[in-house]
Copies of this chain bind each other. A is one copy, B any other.
């Protein structure tokens, strides 16, 4: 049987998972791929990984370029992460005529247009299933499985760390900071959790999902990004009382004005499937004009789940080695010359419902002032909870859900309400999505 030779860059969690999966399932995989797939060389800066490679019969080096320049290798797996030197290595490998498999969402979201351009010129594939939602084959589902559809919207829980934190905050009525520490102890959050809790990781993934859904270039800089650091367990409880769960979503919608690209905490009605995706699990809902709403659920991170996607990509590339590049499934779902330049919407143009929580002086006329401001801005109230002030406090809590209104109108309304003498401090604002499905 033909042997496909693979070079691996990065022997961390996912890299060692890929070696394990390819070794353990060698028979099953060759029955599917029609070829034997072998990792023959691997590189990592940490030379203590040499032993692991020796044990597995893999040539080890601490110089990634040695692997990238090895003429015997057909496919390079890039699992280093980050922008540099991952980008330089991938471009060099493409220049050398090698196919690329990567789990690097940051690299694809920011430099994908350049990388796919280079790959197209050389007639090689760049596969990146593992870059979004770990083991869930969401790229394949959108790019190939739903290819008959005009995709209308995509909404996903695409950061396991954030979802774990929100789930724990709800289940244990805990505060954000405490749960973050717990997540770090459990290994679900990095020592520097910024990318996860500030929504940057989710924004990378949303950038990729939007591109393959609508056939638009990757445009990470257009994503409105808000993290989960300001969500309190109090808001989670109020949302619960109103019939909602708070989830950190990546959302992209096709509208007449352009494409919405946004990552933020979101109230979702509890009966929604997405609202019930808990812990570190990921799920992506995709709505197409023909198929309606579909959902894809599974582990969004971890060694073997992510390796599952990496190895599936290797098998896809291995199967296609005999194929002329023109006939392949295009990397970004649509053929490069057919990319659409429809604009990404500014967040102020986006319309959602809103959950608002504010502290107001407990005296007559306050609610009338608030209602007037909202009405002036075209904001309708859908539900309202008013809590008497505790005995040691003169401020009452007002919680409301509004109907859909533009972010611009809501910004103006919030500004006006916050400027009232009767309102204490800042208003908490969380967007509400109903997902028409």
Contact = CB atoms under 8 A, between A and B. Distances in A.
A177 interface: no
A273 interface: yes
A308 B292 CA distance: 9
Interface stretch (A29-37, A54-62, A153-161, A186-194): A29-37
A242 B129 CA distance: 40
Contacts of A307: 148, 290
A148 B308 contact: yes
Contacts of A305: 290-292
A150 B146 CA distance: 25
A296 B299 contact: no
A145 to B, nearest CB: 3
Contact of A292 (B135, B143, B149, B310): B135
Given A144-B137, A298-B295, A290 B21 contact: yes
Given A34-B330, A312-B148, A291 B299 contact: yes
A234 to B, nearest CB: 25
Given A298-B294, A326-B322, A146 B312 contact: yes
Contacts of A338: 30-31
A141 B140 contact: yes
A392 interface: no
A406 interface: no
A329 B32 CA distance: 8
A6 to B, nearest CB: 13
Interface string A299-335: 1000011011111101110011111101111100111
A31 B312 CA distance: 25
Interface in A23-69: 24-25, 28-34
Given A308-B290, A322-B327, A323-B322, A29 B147 contact: yes
A311 B327 CA distance: 17
B273 A290 contact: no
A39 B323 CA distance: 26
A304 B304 CA distance: 36
A297 B297 contact: yes
Contacts of A411: none
B135 A289 contact: no
A123 interface: no
Contacts of A144: 137, 140, 144, 312, 315-316
A258 interface: no
Contact of A25 (B276, B290, B320): B290
Contacts of A17: 290
B311 A148 contact: yes
Interface of A: 17, 21-22, 24-25, 28-34, 129, 135-137, 140-141, 143-150, 215, 273, 276-277, 288-299, 304-305, 307-312, 314-316, 319-324, 326-330, 333-335, 338, 340
Return the 7 tightest CB-CB contacts between A and B, nearest first: A137-B145, A148-B311, A294-B298, A135-B291, A31-B338, A291-B308, A295-B297
27 contacts: A17-B290, A21-B290, A24-B150, A24-B289, A25-B149, A29-B147, A31-B215, A31-B335, A32-B147, A32-B335, A135-B291, A135-B292, A137-B145, A141-B296, A144-B144, A144-B312, A147-B311, A147-B315, A273-B276, A273-B277, A288-B308, A289-B304, A290-B311, A291-B299, A293-B298, A320-B323, A323-B323
